[in-house]
Chain A
Amino acid sequence: MSTIAANSELSFFQVAKGFRSWVTTLDHKRIALLYFYAICSFFLVGVILGFLMRLELIAPGKTIMEPHMYNQVFTLHGVIMIFLFIIPVIPAIFGNFFLPIMLGTDDVAFPKVNLLSWYLYMFGGLLALLTLVVGKGPADTGWTFYAPYSVRTGTNVTIAVLAAFILGFSSILTGLNFIVTIHRLRYPGMTFFKMPLFIWALYATSWIQLLATPIVGITLLMIVAERAFGIGLFDPAIGGDPILYQHLFWIYSHPAVYIMVLPAMGIISEIIPTFSQRTIFGYRAIAYSSLAIAFVGYFVWGHHMFTSGMSGAARVVFSILTFLVAIPSAIKVFNWVATMYKGSIDLQPPMLYVLAFIFQFLIGGLTGLINGALAADVHIHATYFVVGHFHYVMFGGTAFAFFGGIHYWFPKIWGKMYNVRWANIAFVLMFIGFNVLYFPMLILGIMGMPRRYYDYLPQFQPLNVVATVGSWILILGLIIMIVNLINAYRKGSPAGRNPWGGVTLEWQTKSPPPLQNFDKAPELSEHGPYDFK
């Protein structure tokens, strides 16, 4: 006797049609796709801004824009990429789509709040773009909005900062939703330690989203208040301390980078077992390390401030804590590699992105340690070394994991398969382009080229040219990837329930899933979520 769910013949796409059915949906899968289209659009805007920056930097002096505009371009590039892309991308898209399915339930705990989160995201995003067209143009402070300049500049800091505040709310509500969902809606028999590691990653991330974001929220409100009332909260001329702003800003923004990277690591932990056809090595270690990274990550923020004027004792404390937080990350990398050892490796596109992630995250992580060493940081703070470091972890790490996730879950979401050959070509171009773009930055930084500078000394030009060319190769790969996926969306061949041989719950259901996620009762293995028989 088989059991089926009512109304499971139709996919979640087919149950209702039209624009209104999308923007008033309570279905986590549709909300995930609403985020997907919005986030990818903002990402492309961010890419264009980056492309323009690299064009400007291909030669010293003015190339295509005035210095003041350059400041605005890199500020908006950072604001969009960080608040509109990297922070929400994996939780809001794959978290929303797959968290309930992987847990064996039909939706998140608060579906209406989920839709509200999306509306807040859109509102914040549009506000950020508004700064482009009103008043004196986008903020020119850098995405970090350091006082006192952020208080004094005439550009649209207030709007940009309010946009970030609203986006923060979106993030908080998503985190809240996920935490309650994980605690309350797991399928009977799925204990915490039988959840997939992607869920563990989202759980740890959600706690950071919940607890760290309010602090930047209030800090940004203080900037608005300072601009409005002219009091010297952070203005040294009237007794304020600009370093206090930096403390408050980084108390959120450092944990924010773990919001960025933990879900990405969760995706890696999903893809590797499937394409090694082996159970994950060290499940508990990976689960605990996610929590450890989240916890210790709250206490390292001062490493962004080593040269700010902070006291020596504080610098030492923060440097030690920074080294500590590298340990749980390293544990994950070792466990992933151990999983692959003697596995039956299948180099499909998702796996390629995973391998690139491991390579690039390694470079990003190690350069992070270098930044965290006090003596070294004095020389490389605010140089291109830092720019290279964070692009390696955020782009080479999180974004590549995102692309890997797209190639992994595309057949499940849309029920169609993409052209693997073109996916591979796109990957190769992106991998080469990415490293040609960012590796030279590590060298440039050590050579002494400062970041956020519109102009530079002639000896820095050759590597800048290399980097700019790398950006073109990268963008070409990005375009091919996007075109390939759009083609698959239109006329890809049907994918079936489980094209990759995965064993987590999403692979048991139809592709695309029905509205209530499952067409028959999910079957859990007593050996845990990665039971490859």
Chain B
Amino acid sequence: METTFVLPNSGHKRDDVSSKMGMWLFLFTEVLLFGGLFLVYMIYRFMYHADFMTASHELNVLIGTINTIVLLTSSMTVAMSITAMQKGDVRLSRRLILLTIVAALIFLVNKYFEWSAKFEHGLFPGMEHYNTLPNGERLFFFLYFFMTGLHALHVIVGGAFLLFVVRAINKNKVRQDRYMLLENAGLYWHLVDLIWIYLFPLFYLIH
């Protein structure tokens, strides 16, 4: 008599551990992506130390600090949203995620003001004042815009991911017994926070 057998492990079955591992592996690629930029920053800061210090004074430490606190807060809220989901408090979880998204928006608005101020001073690569700067300062500002710009892009992506999770919650696809998507979105969000933790002192606090 023949009976059917089923392979014990399947790539087509839901596996939360695989999902989490996959997210971590993806985060490693992000670490190295920004790592390359930090390498460039390191070398040029080494070569143009004085210019980097001068250029850094153009940056607004207050806004930078506020943005740092905003992101740290958002990391806390998204971590708490997972706690809430684990405890079965879906409403609180959703609210905390929305708070996180609000924090992301605040961050982006601050960025907008910062960058606008720079444009007004003609500091963007290619602009008049920028072109008159010494080499080291130009490298500083290019790296500033490129790295914080790429970071802001990740803030947007992270925010969109969280919004997607909210929708999934509304459709009951993310719940107390199935919240890997939220955890993964949280992990991605913490990475965004981590990158800023390094960007902040390296650009704003050189004295």
Contact = CB atoms under 8 A, between A and B. Distances in A.
Tell me, yes or no, whether A and B come into direct contact in the complex with CB atoms closer than 8 A: yes
Interface string B14-39: 01011001100110111011111101
B171 interface: no
Main secondary structure of the interface of B (DSSP, over half): helix
Interface stretch (A16-24, A237-245, A406-414): A237-245
A210 B23 CA distance: 12
Interface string A207-218: 000111111011
A230 B39 CA distance: 21
A305 interface: no
Nearest to B137: A239
Contact of B142 (A187, A218, A231): A231
A232 B125 CA distance: 10
Interface in A485-533: 516-518, 520-521
Contacts of A105: 7, 9-11
B187 to A, nearest CB: 14
Interface string A221-236: 0100100011111000
Contacts of B33: 214-215, 217-218
Given A1-B2, A232-B138, A248 B36 contact: yes
A31 to B, nearest CB: 12
Given A185-B9, A186-B9, A188-B8, A2 B25 contact: no
B6 A184 contact: no
A241 B48 CA distance: 12
A107 interface: yes
A3 B3 contact: yes
B11 A241 contact: no
B40 A238 contact: no
A179 to B, nearest CB: 6
Nearest to A233: B142
B9 A184 contact: yes
A180 B18 contact: yes
A62 interface: no
B139 interface: yes
Contacts of B125: 229-231
A426 interface: no
Interface of B: 1-12, 15, 17-18, 21-22, 25-26, 28-30, 32-37, 39-40, 43, 47-48, 125-126, 134-136, 138-139, 142, 146
Given A107-B12, A233-B40, 19 more contacts: A3-B2, A3-B4, A100-B11, A104-B7, A106-B7, A106-B10, A107-B11, A176-B26, A180-B25, A183-B18, A184-B18, A210-B25, A211-B29, A213-B29, A214-B29, A214-B35, A232-B138, A238-B135, A239-B134
